[in-house]
Amino acid sequence: MAISPARTAAFDILLRVEQTESFASELLHSAGYSKLTSSDHGLATELVMGVLRWKPVLDRELAASSSLKLDKIDVEVLTALRLAAYQLKFLDRIPGHAAVHESVELVKRARKRSAAAFVNAVLRKLSERPKLPPTTATNADELAAQTAHPLWLVERWTQEFGFEVTQKICQHDQLTPQTAIRLSAGSAADELKEEGVELSPGLLLTHARRVVSGNVSHTRAFRRGKIAIQDEASQLVALLLGHGQNFLDCCAAPGGKTRVIAEGNPQASVLALDLHPQRAALLRKLVPASNVTVETADMRSFESPQRFDRVLADVPCSGTGTLAHNPEIKWKLTEDDLRDLQERQSAILRAAMKCVAPGGRIVYSTCSLEREENSAVVEQALEGFRVVNVREELERLHSEGELSWSDLDALGSGPYLRTLPGKHPCDGFFAAILERK
């Protein structure tokens, strides 16, 4: 019996994530998997993200069923085992025999035929183990183990946000996030409905929508650029810039925030920069607006005679606010990475601040939950600028009918924007608004 396209795709993607710096979400939406049917793509996504979210829990179950230590098992074999283990332990609708059989076949396909009998034996034993107990954590150690998070992250979040909020963050990270989109054309909602996509209102923003059912990325509206998949907190960050005549987006790819800026300021000019030529080319494709100019440049060495009245520095970061979308970050990030990122972020922010016109504003943002990447970066670079309390802009957006969330205080942390997964219906974002004196 042939291996299903969904399991084949999931296996190949998990192997690439394990062996390279690739992100699963990018691979799932790459050209190589665009020909999967909607149902196969949905199953492949479920399998890939499920394995990445629950990897240490799966490994504990496999270790208890294996005669070999996991670090002695070839990565291809271990990937096939994890794939089957996730199906056996977390997916009731998939027959156990199918999960076992296809993982054995995947091992053979990976030229590890000698391990086929071992895989079959481990999975048969695993299928006889009791169900996983419910989460009943009362401390950071238990929470990390039960929700498959690195202990060092759970400990630092508990210290920063408290145990109750950290519980919500960890639990949210283990759920499949609802897709959010931003409509850029009045007819797009009707087009999506015709193609079987059901939408509900956004939970933060008036012009956002949540996908209840259907695959947005397979629709004509998506292919034609009428809609963009973008978390609501990401949309909100771009809206904090307000209105102006000339904008600079320093680290613009993939282009979601650039798009929001351009559509909200159709008479303004927008210069969008990205360090990598391929990402800049993708940005140009995703943001075809005529008022947007795209250039390949490193913001840290970028020079321009022009000064901009609005600048966005949405800097590269750890991404710990996006673990529901990018669970592999949990297993690759280290505390040393945070220090390296802070240096890069500080350099970008300081270079971007030089481009702000007198009286102009810069929004510094990340999708990180870590203080080192957020307030610590801002507070080291305030010379010549003042911090604008984000409450001012949230009130403006609410009065303009753009922000539908009514509890404005819940979106702030001091003068900064601070959204937290599980506490807010979105990814975790930080944003600071700085104004040149």
Active site residues: 367
Query: How far apart, in Å, are the Cα atoms of 126 and each of 87, 153, 230, 324?
Result: 11, 29, 38, 26
Write out the DSSP string of 65-83: T-SS-GGGS-HHHHHHHHH
- CA-CA distance, 10 to 88, in Å (whole number)? 15
| Pairing assessment for the beta strands 246-249 and 269-274 based on DSSP bridges | parallel
Sorted by sequence, the CB contacts under 8 Å of residue 35 that are 6+ apart come out as none
User: Is residue 253 classed exposed, middle or buried when 0-12, 13-18 and 19+ CB atoms within 10 A define those classes?
Assistant: buried
Is 272:258 a contact under the CB 8 Å cutoff?
yes
Alpha-carbon 244 to chain mean position: 29
Buried b or exposed e, range 193-224, using 16+ CB within 10 angstroms: eeeebebeebebbebbbbbeebbbbbbebbee
Q: Rounded CA gap, 150 and 331, in Å?
A: 7
